[in-house]
Structures are given as structure tokens and as C-alpha cells.
Structure 1
Amino acid sequence: MKSIDYSLYLVLDRSLSRGRSHGDIVAAAVAGGVSCVQLREKQCSTREFLEQARTLISVLRPRGIPLIINDRLDIALAVGADGVHLGQEDLPIDMARRLAGEQMIIGISAETVEHAVAAERAGADYIGISPVFATATKQDHSAPLGLAGIGVIRARTTIPLVGIGGINAANAAAILAAGADGVAVVSAIVAADDPAAAARALRRSCRPAESCR
């Protein structure tokens, strides 16, 4: 299994960035303790997506922080990203693996136990379980899993679990204590007045659960 620190996983969202560049937000967030970054772009062209990915690799690679590309395996391969994150309606894991090879990280979104179990069986490297709590960041999601839902999925899977949805410094430790290996945040860092301070607060909140490495 690939050795990746998913403990504090930042998912970028341009609509929440308050006019700041992805590069500036990521540099600040990594300084605050972010351990993994996902570039998610739903509205831009392929060329712009490529340029954003290249910029982030130049920020992250010298710091040893992996870059995961949301949905677009072609972008991930083109820029040499560390991984790709796929949804339930995206390219199947077995096909993605044939194209990406064994070294690329493949993450899968799962909203149910069945999704999570199937993802592990198909060869995913980690599972993004969502939503843990209600969130306005993503509208097309199922009912919140809650802490109990994390425990149920943890009991049925062995690969890393990353919780996402409504996560902040006040509840991150509880998510890790419930069985997740990491917390993924969007607005709690991207929309913060000070992304570095927000990341530091999240990392401090994780430490009581002894799960943020």
C-alpha cells in the first residue's frame, strides 16, 4: 500500500477562494500543516486546468506533499500528478488503474457502505466518505453519514478513509476517533481569512485523537 499522509486533506474550490489564487492558498495551507491537496475544477477549460495543476505541482513537490486531481485522469497523467480522485459515475477503477499504472494513487468517493466495500475490492488506494455532516459546499449528496456511519464503514474496510463534509476544527478530532484516517476540508481553509492559521487550528484539533501524523 502506498504510504501517503491523508490526515489533513485540502480540497480546493475556486468559488470559495475570495479572489485568491490556488497557489497562494495552497502555500499557506501547507505551511499550516496540510498533508495532501486535491485540485477540483468544474468550470474551467482543459488548458486552464492543466496550468493550475502545473502551478500546484511546483508548490507542492518541493515540500513532499501529494497532488490529487479530481475526476480528470487525463490531467493527472499529463502533469505527472500523484493521484486522481474519482466519483461513482467516473471512470471505473480497473480501467483507471490500467491507464495510470500501479504507482498512481486512486481515490474513490463513497456515500454508502456498499460503495466503500466495492471500491476497496476494485483496488482503490483510499476512500473519501461523504458527507459526514451536512454541507453547503456540495449539493448533490446523500444524507449525512454521521460519526456512526464512519464506524460502520471502518468495520467493513481496511484501506484509508478520509471523511469530508461539514468538517472544521471543532469536529475533526471526533471524525478521526470514529475511525477515519484523515479529514478533508474545503471551506474551512479555502474561505478562511488566514488559510495557514485555519490549517494549524485543524491540525491542533486532530492531535487529541492521535491520528494526525
Structure 2
Amino acid sequence: MTEPTRERTRLYLITPASVPDVAAFAKTFESALAGGDVASLQVRIKPDGLIDEATTEAVARALLPLCREREIALIINDSVDVCEKVGADGVHLGALDMQVKAARARLGKQPIIGATAKDSRHIAMEAGEQGADYVAFGAFFPSETKADTVPADTELLTWWQSVMELPCAAIGGITPERAKALSLAGADFLAVSASVWAHKDGPAAAVRAFNAALDEAATAF
């Protein structure tokens, strides 16, 4: 019996925590897409650690047409309210946010629901049981985007891939140079922020470098 072939790991972009100029960021996001494949974009506007719902909604509305055109899933961080208002593709819930089952009951079957699991197998499995569409593990490396992270080991990705069908995302300090190893370890998605928006050669170059690393990893599956 032939083992099923893993699909190629894909890129999951996360916005900067602060977006002072929505129109300018929309152009930055569009420029990033010149670098190649992007699976999803999470709108995470938390300039002081708390969600700014007004700016989250503004950014989501500005980017939704482009995401629809490019078949990129638009995910809202934390806020089911904003997800419903703008008609986003889904919501990502942190460890202290609304439970997955409550979000699923409110949003229905169609929207994507992701859940933060940090380094916990138990939390990840519980999220899956409650109806999550993916779980996010990390941080795998020190992160500039989020200070309150929990270290995670790549063995967690390998274990998850071996026992669960639910997709998993790796997050935390991921750069193009680290992408291949995380893909080979078992990540279905790489969630990245600063390594794209603050890349020395620009967002498109960063996305291009990530995709090159993920293409290389896919040949070894």
C-alpha cells in the first residue's frame, strides 16, 4: 500500500501589528504577491497587544477584493465580530480567546477556524475535536512580532503529521533560511510576518525566497 503524499507546505502571511496607513499597506501586500504563492493572510492588528477592531475591519475590507481575486484566504485574528462584518474567510483564535466550539456555533460550518496551540498536544487535539480547521504551533524561534511566546520543538510537527489529518501551521521567528527544515518536519503552513514585511530586499523578495525553500522541501517529501 502506497503512503499518501504530503502536499507542499504553503505560506500564511500575518499583517504587521500596526498598520497606520491602510491604503499604503494594501499596495505593500499586493507587491508581496509578486513573489509567488500565498495561501492565506491573517489580519492581526494589535499595536499594544490588544486587538484594534476598527483598523482590523478597515484593513480587512481593503484587502478582501485582492484576496478574492488571488484565491487567498482572509483570516481575522481574534474577532468573530469583524469576521462576520466583512465576510472574511475565517477567524484565528488565540489561547485566551473565544473557544473554537463557540465560534463554530456562531459562524457555522463554512468559515475557517484556526486555533493557537503553542507547544501543547492536548490543546491542539481539543481544538480539533471542537471543530478547528487547523492548529498553530510555536514559537519555533524567537519572534519580533509576539513577545509572549512559548518555545516549541520541531518534533511536535512530526508527531502531529504522523497521527493527525488536521493541518498544522508553524509560527515564530521563521525566515526563508529556516523554512525548509520546518516544512520537512511536518508543517502544512508557515505563518510569517516580520520576515516578509521587514525583509531587506522587500516583501516580494521575501515571499520568493520562502517559496523557493518550500519548493525544495517538497521534492524531499
TM-score (norm 1): 0.89
RMSD (Å), alpha carbons: 2.4
Residue in structure 2 matched with residue 42 of structure 1 by the alignment: 46
Does residue 123 of structure 2 align to residue 115 of structure 1?
A: yes
Kindly provide the amino acid, as one letter, of the partner of residue 11 in structure 2.
L
Kindly provide the amino acid, as one letter, of the partner of residue 89 in structure 1.
L
1:14 Cα offset (Å): 4.0
Task: Mark the CA change 1:62 to 1:20 in structure 2 (over 3 Å): closer, same or farther.
Answer: closer
1:146 Cα offset (Å): 2.4
Distance 1:125 1:106 in 2: 5
Kindly provide the amino acid, as one letter, of the partner of residue 129 in structure 2.
R
Identify the range of structure 1 (17-26 vs 175-184) with the bigger mean alpha-carbon deviation.
Answer: 17-26
Question: 1:52-105: per-residue Cα shift (whole Å, max 9, x none)?
Answer: 110010221111111000001100110000010001111111110111111100
Residue in structure 2 matched with residue 7 of structure 1 by the alignment: 10
Alignment of 1:134-145 (within 5 A): 134-142=142-150, 144-145=151-152
Residue in structure 2 matched with residue 199 of structure 1 by the alignment: 207
Whether the 8 Å CA contact 1:163–1:175 is kept in 2: the answer is yes
Does residue 160 of structure 2 align to residue 153 of structure 1?
A: yes
| Structure 2 residues not aligned, in runs of 5+ | 1-7
Distance 1:152 1:134 in 2: 22
Residue in structure 1 matched with residue 190 of structure 2 by the alignment: 183
Whether the 8 Å CA contact 2:143–2:149 is kept in 1: the answer is no
What is the DSSP-based 3-state SS (H/G/I as helix, E as strand, rest coil) of the residue aligned with 2:139? Answer: coil
Does residue 89 of structure 2 align to residue 82 of structure 1?
A: yes
Whether the 8 Å CA contact 1:117–1:156 is kept in 2: the answer is no
Residue in structure 2 matched with residue 94 of structure 1 by the alignment: 101
Identity across matched positions, percent: 36
What is the DSSP-based 3-state SS (H/G/I as helix, E as strand, rest coil) of the residue aligned with 2:166? Answer: coil
Does residue 165 of structure 2 align to residue 172 of structure 1?
A: no
1:19 Cα offset (Å): 9.8
Structure 1 moving runs of 4+ over 6 Å: 16-20
Does residue 141 of structure 2 align to residue 133 of structure 1?
A: yes
Identify the range of structure 1 (124-133 vs 22-31) with the bigger mean alpha-carbon deviation.
Answer: 22-31
What is the DSSP-based 3-state SS (H/G/I as helix, E as strand, rest coil) of the residue aligned with 1:21? Answer: helix
Identify the range of structure 1 (122-131 vs 16-25) with the bigger mean alpha-carbon deviation.
Answer: 16-25
Whether the 8 Å CA contact 1:18–1:191 is kept in 2: the answer is no
Distance 2:91 2:18 in 1: 21
Task: Mark the CA change 1:91 to 1:197 in structure 2 (over 3 Å): closer, same or farther.
Answer: same
Whether the 8 Å CA contact 2:9–2:183 is kept in 1: the answer is no
1:18 Cα offset (Å): 10
1:20 Cα offset (Å): 8.3
Whether the 8 Å CA contact 1:86–1:108 is kept in 2: the answer is yes
What is the number of residues matched between the two proteins?
Answer: 207
| Structure 1 residues not aligned, in runs of 5+ | none
